[in-house]
Amino acid sequence: MKIENIDLCKKAIIFEIQDSFQRTGKLPQKSQFKKVWKIEEVFGSWTEALIEAGFFRKTLLSEEQKEYIKQTIKQLNTFYRRDLKKNVSPPPEIETMVLAFAAVEAMRKTPSYPYTTRELRELLEKKVGSAPAFMSQIYPCMRGIDRRISNPRKGCYVLY
């Protein structure tokens, strides 16, 4: 397949995903599309197709947030590729990884500062466009990225 054809295919798929959202007002589901395998072949995964179309965790992204997520995914792929070569368990879902990476990145800027759950959620909302329902969903992934992160008491996260 030529690069030009891939670009046209990507544009058509993105249009289809965005059109589905415009018609229904809901985030498109895999089951709504006939050739999901083709979408996954072109973008790498259904999630990456949604991100490219401007969606992440059921919200519409700004261009800045979309670019941040793409860069983060590239960094995370490098990070987890190293672990996969060592036969370490496969990475968690991509959304969890992006949120965890954004939280760790923020915490590295202010070491020893005790972030509350609310502060981290607000920070993630601004940086990535969404936040997890519970920080406990991304905490194990945060620890996987940087072992210095701890949870000394409920609702508090610190990078030592």
| Helix boundaries (H) for the chain | 3-24, 36-43, 46-52, 63-85, 94-109, 117-128, 139-145
Between 3 and 147, name the one with better pLDDT: 147
Query: For the chain, what are the domain ranges?
Result: 3-53, 65-159
Q: Say whether 54 sits in a helix, a strand or coil.
A: coil
What residue type is 137 in one-letter code? Q
Which residues is 116 bridged to in the sheet? 156
Residue 43: pLDDT band (50, 70, 90) is confident
Q: Which residue has the higher pLDDT, 75 or 77?
A: 75
Question: What pTM was estimated for this model as a whole?
Answer: 0.52
The span from the CA of 4 to the CA of 50, in Å, is 21
CA distance 109 to 107: 5
- The pLDDT mean for the chain works out to 77
pLDDT tens digit sequence for 79-95 = 666 665 665 555 557 77
Indicate the SS3 state at residue 31.
helix
Rounded average pLDDT over 39-66: 75
Whether pLDDT at 101 is above 70: yes
Cβ contacts of 45 within 8 Å, gap of 6 or more: 94
Fold of 65-159: Arc Repressor Mutant, subunit A (1.10.10)
Band of the pLDDT at 148, cuts 50, 70, 90? confident
- Tokens at residue 14, please? 């993105």
Say whether pLDDT at 25 is over 80.
no
C-alpha to C-alpha distance for 55 and 25, rounded to whole angstroms? 12
**Rounded Cα gap, residues 47 and 44, in angstroms:** 8
pLDDT of amino acid 84: 58
Q: Which range is least confidently modeled, 6-10, 89-93, 123-127?
A: 89-93
